Amino acid sequence: MNATLPEIAVDAARVVAELKKLATFSAEAEVPAGLPEPTTAVSRVVFTEPDLAMRAWFTGLCEEAGLTVRVDPMGNTFARWGDPAASGAVGTGSHNDAIPHSGMYDGTVGVLGGLEAIRALQRAGFVPVRPIELVMFTSEEPTRFGLGCSGSRVMTGAMEAAEVAALTDPEGRSFDDVRRAAGFSGDLADARLAPDHFHAFVELHTEQGPLLEREGLDIGIVTAIAAPLAAEFEVLGAGGHAGAVLMPDRHDALCAAAEMVLAIEAAAKSSGAVDTVTTVGEFTPHPGHGNSIANRVRFTLDLRDTDGDRRDAAWAKIRDGIDAICARRGVTATHRVLNADPPAACYPLVVDAVADAAAGLTTKRTISRAYHDSLFMARVCPTGMIFIPCRGGVSHRPDEFASESAIGHGVLVLARTLARLATST
Amino acid sequence: MNATLPEIAVDAARVVAELKKLATFSAEAEVPAGLPEPTTAVSRVVFTEPDLAMRAWFTGLCEEAGLTVRVDPMGNTFARWGDPAASGAVGTGSHNDAIPHSGMYDGTVGVLGGLEAIRALQRAGFVPVRPIELVMFTSEEPTRFGLGCSGSRVMTGAMEAAEVAALTDPEGRSFDDVRRAAGFSGDLADARLAPDHFHAFVELHTEQGPLLEREGLDIGIVTAIAAPLAAEFEVLGAGGHAGAVLMPDRHDALCAAAEMVLAIEAAAKSSGAVDTVTTVGEFTPHPGHGNSIANRVRFTLDLRDTDGDRRDAAWAKIRDGIDAICARRGVTATHRVLNADPPAACYPLVVDAVADAAAGLTTKRTISRAYHDSLFMARVCPTGMIFIPCRGGVSHRPDEFASESAIGHGVLVLARTLARLATST
């Protein structure tokens, strides 16, 4: 406990109750059998009905807490405790959108936990020197428009607003059309933050990995965020009748793509570091009938590493492997890089504040293998992250789970960190 | 030319014109770029609007030719030249349903070619001793209900009517409900043929393989039909966040299924015979998002061989390979066999009639690697098939193509074969 801070009492039960309410803003989602309890399937894709209903409810919660709410043209929502016109705010927040068939803690713990951190500081009688601002970022998940962190990318200038405006969803509707139809107006470029908007930013999040739980630790003090790369591939072979085309005459796009999936897996496993991970999550053959040889397969690649150079080396190895498969099988493959971002180091000012705030809890310094809006916030202000353990390291699944106790620890550390940063100059 | 038969003149141009008209009964289908011309994308799934409209048009054509049309409760359509009550008819025919994104010749050449064979015999003044009956089989393709040749299976008792009635389409509607809604009434079991209904059956079809074209031959005299096996697999692994789960901790269902695809391919390639073929045509990961590890994949297997024992050996090898992959990767796989039929030998009476009928044309004895309604007709009467070359051996694709000349040769051989069989006792 830091002597210069007031005694802070976090209402973790209230956060859990609000997380459960938040989980009800969801498109119908199948709950698979056989998963450990508790499990709650959530699907809340940006600018769909459940997302819009959630936003209205969340805005109400912020206003109840006396915060001033502002929504930018991207739909990023800012809830401020303090002078609305002041620069140099201390920011916190995360995202409330959820990929289909996922769970109720990813992102949401940082949004509702951030709100509770502010309420706890208010209850403790804390008086911030700098404004404290809670941010709910738009579309951290890439589900609808194929690009993760579109909200924070535009806020921080990591991507031009015009590029994001032109992204299309699976129905061919542009981001710009969809957000306007959802009621978000104004010039997207105006979502770019003023350079002095934030003094610092800190995001509370579940670890989405198994390390804290395995080691029985309360808090992860994040020192760096991994470098993500996302790409999509299209493999073109030759179709035909499943019975009539002999094996030596085939150029089966599905077999070729299956071999590429294994080459992608091998590239991660042979990188020399456990920090390299690859995933093929989408895989769609055409025409997709049991008695037709596939003439075309589209699949995605998600590649991440804590080291940018090692990430790029794995990427080169993957492309070489795919070229060799194409040559051997007489198929062709094209790819498109959706995003390739460098890793981010967390800022000592924030890392130290988190470490101080975690006094009395068990901690370790760690790396975020998932990427977050903080990856982009780190481009414009000192940024850090606070991790709490989650059951089995599981995320993006209905059975992702963080205990009330873990959430309580995380919110307490966040509140103390915000207090520290909001009194520093 | 056989001296005992009248001079037969086939109007191949008319068959081609009717095939082109038939191709217009089609659900919208994408025509992929880059395929050789001519190319015509066709999609005509059983009991859909285009199928029903096609049936009405086809019935009209048969009636124009003076044939007596009967439709059984399965929707199998019989058009007879001769006494409607007589047993011991000589049958010919094929199917007019078409899988999505396929072409205009598969099956249809045997239906419209069969009609033209009858018209040519009529024009030649031929008087059949036995009735000649053209059959358009229902649902040779497995697209909608997952089972190929449902019409001929029920006709021949290869499958109980109740089993077919209970099959469901992707929307969960049963075969029985769908066919009733499409206007086909009566007890499905009544579609079973009387044992003496057919004296013999012969089907004209494109080869759907490259051998006749490569060798520059007019006609394939089919001596056997390969043994098909269709199954579907479900692989269960563990999902999770694409960034956060380290490679050693993964049980990625998509990587496991990709390895199974390659094991299935290898089982065919290592069978010791070029006649073993395997295809995985459907492959659907869940949840199917780029940043989620797949926890589940569903895929299909199509396995065929001209030798039943070798087919079964490949099937055992595939299951062993999949079990080994499951054990190594910590995933599970279950499967369901959709159908596993023995091969059929064509009957000497019919094979010899086809060979005689092809006098003056270049021929080879060959095997049908694709399966056809003839596979089941062979269970109830002497059966044979006549193959004509198709461009590149291609089928189940918009660019499948058989020339007017090839079709003309095929219809001529079919007409002579029908004449021969319809005068024999």
A407, B133, B142, B144, B176 from B180: Cα distances, Å: 57, 25, 19, 15, 6
Where in B154-226 does DSSP place strands (E)? 198-206, 219-225
State the maximum Cα–Cα separation within chain B, in Å, rounded to a whole number: 80
Q: Which residues in chain A have Cβ-Cβ distances shorter than 8 Å to B372?
A: none
Contact B247 A288 (CB under 8 A): no
Contact B281 A294 (CB under 8 A): yes
Which of A260, A375, A268 lies closest to A321, judged by CA?
A260
Contact A281 B232 (CB under 8 A): no
Tell me the residue type at B128. P
d(CA B26, CA B11): 25
**Predicted local confidence at residue B243, as pLDDT:** 87
d(CA A153, CA A147): 10
Q: What proportions of chain B, in percent to the nearest 5, are helix, strand and coil?
A: 35, 25, 40
Contact B246 A208 (CB under 8 A): no
For residue B146, the 8-state DSSP code is: S
Burial class of B170 by CB neighbour count within 10 A (0 to 12, 13 to 18, 19+): exposed
**Predicted local confidence at residue B236, as pLDDT:** 98
Contact A239 B274 (CB under 8 A): no
Task: With beta carbons less than 8 A apart as the criterion, state whether A154 and A56 touch.
Answer: no
Across the strands, what pairs with A383? A201
Nearest CB partner across the interface for B285, out of A146, A281, A397:
A281
Task: With beta carbons less than 8 A apart as the criterion, state whether A333 and A235 touch.
Answer: yes
Contact B292 A228 (CB under 8 A): no
d(CA B294, CA B89): 55
CATH topology of domain A227-340: Alpha-Beta Plaits (3.30.70)
Check residue B129 and give left, alpha or beta (phi > 0: left; psi -120 to 50: alpha).
alpha
- CA atoms in the 13 A half-sphere facing the CB of B184: 29
Q: Which residues in chain B have Cβ-Cβ distances shorter than 8 Å to A278?
A: 247
**Predicted local confidence at residue A25, as pLDDT:** 97
Nearest CB partner across the interface for B281, out of A258, A262, A285:
A285
In the block, residue with structure tokens 């461009």: B391
Q: Annotation-wise, does B259 bind a ligand?
A: no
List all residues 6 or more positions away from A310 whose beta carbon is below 8 Å from its beta carbon. Answer: A271, A272, A273, A275, A276
**Predicted local confidence at residue B318, as pLDDT:** 98
**Predicted local confidence at residue A371, as pLDDT:** 86
d(CA A254, CA A273): 30
Q: Which of B247, B250, B391 to mutate to test the interface with A (most CBs of A within 10 A)?
A: B247
Task: With beta carbons less than 8 A apart as the criterion, state whether B281 and A285 touch.
Answer: yes
Angle, in degrees to the nearest 10, between helices A12-23 and A108-123 = 140
Q: Would you write out chain A's pLDDT as a tens digit for each of its 425 residues?
A: 344 567 899 999 999 999 999 999 999 766 777 788 889 999 999 999 999 999 999 999 999 999 999 999 999 999 999 999 999 999 999 999 999 989 999 999 999 999 999 999 999 999 999 999 999 999 999 999 989 999 999 999 999 999 999 999 999 999 999 999 999 999 999 999 999 999 999 999 999 988 999 999 999 999 999 989 999 999 999 998 898 889 999 999 999 999 999 999 999 999 999 999 999 999 999 999 898 999 999 999 999 998 999 999 999 999 999 999 999 999 999 999 998 999 999 999 999 999 999 999 999 999 998 889 999 999 999 999 999 999 998 888 899 999 999 999 999 999 999 999 999 77
For residue A164, the 8-state DSSP code is: H
d(CA B2, CA A409): 95
Which pair of structure tokens corresponds to residue B407? 């079709």
Ranges of CATH 3.40.630.10 domains, chain A: 12-226+343-423
Note the CATH number of domain A12-226+343-423: 3.40.630.10
Query: With b meaning 16 or more CB within 10 Å and e meaning fewer, what string describes A234-243?
Result: bbbbbbbbbb
d(CA A403, CA A216): 13
**Predicted local confidence at residue B2, as pLDDT:** 44
Which pair of structure tokens corresponds to residue A259? 């071999």
Q: Would you write out chain B's pLDDT as a tens digit for each of its 425 residues?
A: 344 567 899 999 999 999 999 999 999 766 777 788 889 999 999 999 999 999 999 999 999 999 999 999 999 999 999 999 999 999 999 999 999 989 999 999 999 999 999 999 999 999 999 999 999 999 999 999 989 999 999 999 999 999 999 999 999 999 999 999 999 999 999 999 999 999 999 999 999 988 999 999 999 999 999 989 999 999 999 998 898 889 999 999 999 999 999 999 999 999 999 999 999 999 999 999 898 999 999 999 999 998 999 999 999 999 999 999 999 999 999 999 998 999 999 999 999 999 999 999 999 999 998 889 999 999 999 999 999 999 998 888 899 999 999 999 999 999 999 999 999 77
Contact B295 A397 (CB under 8 A): yes
Q: How many residue pairs bridge chain A and chain B with CB atoms within 8 Å of each other?
A: 249
In the block, residue with structure tokens 């002579």: B416
A13, B105, B358 from A137: Cα distances, Å: 24, 54, 74
What H or E segment, with its residue span, contains residue A220?
A: strand A219-225
Which residue in chain A has the smallest CA separation from B242? A279
d(CA A153, CA A379): 10
Contact B397 A240 (CB under 8 A): yes
Burial class of A312 by CB neighbour count within 10 A (0 to 12, 13 to 18, 19+): middle
Cβ atoms within 10 A of the Cβ of B323, count? 12
Which residue in chain B has the smallest CA separation from A141? B291
Chain centre to alpha carbon of residue A185: 24
A21, A22, A191 from A53: Cα distances, Å: 12, 10, 22
What H or E segment, with its residue span, contains residue A153?
A: helix A150-156
d(CA B9, CA B16): 15
Sign of CA dihedral A140, A142, A145, A147: positive
Cβ atoms within 10 A of the Cβ of A270, count? 11
Shortest distance between the Cα of A208 and any Cα of chain B, in A, equals 5
A22, A79, A404 from A65: Cα distances, Å: 17, 10, 21
Q: Which of B292, B295, B299, B311 to mutate to test the interface with A (most CBs of A within 10 A)?
A: B292
Nearest CB partner across the interface for A101, out of B259, B287, B397:
B287
Contact B289 A282 (CB under 8 A): yes
Which pair of structure tokens corresponds to residue B287? 């949840």
For residue B174, the 8-state DSSP code is: B
Nearest CB partner across the interface for A247, out of B240, B277, B293:
B277
Which of A423, A418, A420, A425 lies closest to A133, judged by CA?
A418
The pairing of beta strand B277-279 with beta strand B296-305: antiparallel
What H or E segment, with its residue span, contains residue B264?
A: helix B253-269
**Predicted local confidence at residue A308, as pLDDT:** 92
Nearest CB partner across the interface for A281, out of B265, B291, B394:
B291
Which of B221, B224, B218, B307 lies closest to B268, judged by CA?
B307
**Predicted local confidence at residue A5, as pLDDT:** 63
Which of B162, B189, B185 lies closest to B174, judged by CA?
B162
Contact B244 A207 (CB under 8 A): yes
Q: Which residues in chain A have Cβ-Cβ distances shorter than 8 Å to B295?
A: 32, 397
Contact B255 A277 (CB under 8 A): no
Shortest distance between the Cα of B420 and any Cα of chain A, in A, equals 29
Q: Which residues in chain A have Cβ-Cβ distances shorter than 8 Å to B255?
A: 261-262, 265, 280
R_g (Cα) of chain B, nearest Å: 23
Ranges of CATH 3.30.70.360 domains, chain A: 227-340
CA angle B112, B114, B118 (to 5 degrees): 115
Contact A32 B300 (CB under 8 A): no
In tens, the pLDDT along B339-375 reads 899 999 999 999 999 999 999 999 999 999 888 999 9
Q: Which residues in chain A have Cβ-Cβ distances shorter than 8 Å to B393?
A: 240, 244-245, 249
Shortest distance between the Cα of B200 and any Cα of chain A, in A, equals 25
Q: Annotation-wise, does B106 bind a ligand?
A: yes
Burial class of B189 by CB neighbour count within 10 A (0 to 12, 13 to 18, 19+): middle
Which residue in chain A has the smallest CA separation from B294? A281
Which of A135, A154, A118 lies closest to A79, judged by CA?
A135
Q: Which residues in chain B have Cβ-Cβ distances shorter than 8 Å to A395?
A: 240-241, 244
Q: Which residues in chain B have Cβ-Cβ distances shorter than 8 Å to A232?
A: 290
Q: Annotation-wise, does A241 bind a ligand?
A: no
d(CA A153, CA B404): 60
Which pair of structure tokens corresponds to residue A166? 């032109």
**Predicted local confidence at residue A2, as pLDDT:** 44
Contact A243 B286 (CB under 8 A): no
ipTM: 0.80
CA angle A323, A325, A329 (to 5 degrees): 120
Contact B292 A102 (CB under 8 A): yes
Nearest CB partner across the interface for A281, out of B226, B293, B370:
B293
The percentage of chain B sitting over the pLDDT mark of 70, rounded to a whole number, equals 98
Which residue in chain B has the smallest CA separation from A280? B290
**Predicted local confidence at residue B5, as pLDDT:** 63
For residue B168, the 8-state DSSP code is: B
Contact B396 A241 (CB under 8 A): yes
